[in-house]
Each structure stands twice: as C-alpha cells, then as structure tokens.
C-alpha cells in the first residue's frame, strides 16, 4: 500500500520513507513528488486564459528535500513553457533540484528580488520548509510571504510552510495555499482547524512510499 486516507504523524511518515528507501533511491521518490506537484500547478495554470505558455512561476525554495521537490517541479513547468524564477529562502538550495531547474531554463534570483517577483507571479510554489518544520517562518520568507497577492494561486509542497505537521494550530506566520500536494497520507495540520484553512485543496499523492513497515 502506497497511500492512505488515515492521518499519519511526521515520525510515521519518516519511518515509512526510511523503510522504502532501503530499496528505492531517494531521488526516485523526489522525482515522483515533483511530477505530482507540477501536475497540480499545471491544472491551475491551464485554467487561466493565457494558459501555461509564458506564465510567471515563482518557486520559494528552502534548502531541504521540500525545496528540492519544488525546484524539480519548477523544472517540469519550465519545460512546459512557463517562465520560472527561484527565490532562495535559505543560504543554499537543494543541489540536484537547482541544477535540474537551471538546465530546464529556470533562473535563480536573489532574495531581494522576491517582493517584485511574487507581486507579478501567475503562480507560486511553496517549498520553503517541509515535514520537519516548526511553526512560523524565518527571513526572508517571514517578510516575503505576506506580500503574496491573494489573487495569486499558491501550491504548497507537503504542507503550507509555517505550519507544524502534527498540530492543528496556526498562530505563527505561515503560507496560505490554494492547493497543498501532500504525499502518502494526510497530516493533522491539513485536516484540523484552524490550520486546515491554510491548506486549500488537499491532494494526497502516491509517490510509492511503502507503508508495509506498520505490519512488519
């Protein structure tokens, strides 16, 4: 079984990932995640009159695998004709994801360019922090996220950055997503209010995580 509607904790998800990666390379799991995130982005972009070609996509990327998933999804959107720009939200980016996006024609910018880019975006991918994130955001994301126009669709990778996976609270600064593409199982923050209000439409994506560890 690779997907469930049963909510799982961050620790349970990590156990399942560790179990799966005994036989499946992490890069394969990330590539599958990127396909799912890009698919939701394409669905939203295709609903606009101008379509995907030339759409201004901004990737807000942290340094972890969540940021890597977002960068890899950005590469797929660039290949589909979108104009993809990356705003780093940490000092470094996921190396393979950044290289893949660059090869596809995406452009890495400076954090200082973030306010202008998000204001003019047609879609934003939130890959700032992931499953292990604590409540709240750090600079530059702390200052940048409030500048995202309400009219711009945001797709969060796994959970909206600034929320804690295992908590329904939403007191700290966080991303408000149009859609959240989460992997394998829902997390508590995506199901329980008030945090769930920030998740938007939740898509549970099958990336091939083996849940057999629970009966092993």
Q: Is position 136 annotated in a ligand binding site?
A: yes
Q: Is position 65 annotated in a ligand binding site?
A: yes
List 205's β-bridge partners, or say none.
183
Q: Is position 62 annotated in a ligand binding site?
A: no
> What residue ranges in the chain does DSSP mark as E strands?
56-61, 83-88, 107-108, 123-127, 154-157, 179-183, 201-205
Q: Is position 161 annotated in a ligand binding site?
A: yes
Q: SS3 for 107?
A: strand
Q: Is position 68 annotated in a ligand binding site?
A: yes
Provide the token pair at 51: 């379509």
Q: Is position 131 annotated in a ligand binding site?
A: yes
Q: Is position 200 annotated in a ligand binding site?
A: no
Q: Is position 208 annotated in a ligand binding site?
A: no
Question: d(Cα 117, Cα 113) in Å, to the nearest integer?
Answer: 6
Provide the token pair at 129: 């922090």
Whether the CB-CB separation of 192 and 166 falls below 8 Å is answered with: no
Q: Is position 134 annotated in a ligand binding site?
A: yes
Q: Is position 132 annotated in a ligand binding site?
A: yes
Q: Is position 126 annotated in a ligand binding site?
A: yes
Which residues are documented as binding site for K(+)?
A: 66, 126, 161
Which residues are documented as binding site for (6S)-NADPHX?
A: 65-69, 130-136, 158
Which residues are documented as binding site?
A: 65-69, 126, 130-136, 158, 161
């Amino acid at each position: 079984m690779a997907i469930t509607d049963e909510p799982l904790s961050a620790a349970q998800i990590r156990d399942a990932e560790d179990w799966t990666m005994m036989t499946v390379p992490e890069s394969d799991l990330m590539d599958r995640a990127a396909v799912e995130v890009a698919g939701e982005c394409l669905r939203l972009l295709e609903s606009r009159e101008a379509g995907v070609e030339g759409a201004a996509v901004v990737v807000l990327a942290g340094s972890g695998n969540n940021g890597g998933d977002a960068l890899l999804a950005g590469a797929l959107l660039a290949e589909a004709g979108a104009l993809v720009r990356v705003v780093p939200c940490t000092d470094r980016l996921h190396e393979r994801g950044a290289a893949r996006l660059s090869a596809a024609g995406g452009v890495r910018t400076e954090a200082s360019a973030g306010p202008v880019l998000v204001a003019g975006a047609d879609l934003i991918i939130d890959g700032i922090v992931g499953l292990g994130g604590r409540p709240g955001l750090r600079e530059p994301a702390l200052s940048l996220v409030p500048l995202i126009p309400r009219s711009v669709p945001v797709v969060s990778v796994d959970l909206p950055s600034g929320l804690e996976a295992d908590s329904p609270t939403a007191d700290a600064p966080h991303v408000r997503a149009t859609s959240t593409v989460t992997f394998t199982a829902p997390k508590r923050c995506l199901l329980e209010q008030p945090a769930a209000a920030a998740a938007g439409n939740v898509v549970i994506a099958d990336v091939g995580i083996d849940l057999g560890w629970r009966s092993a």
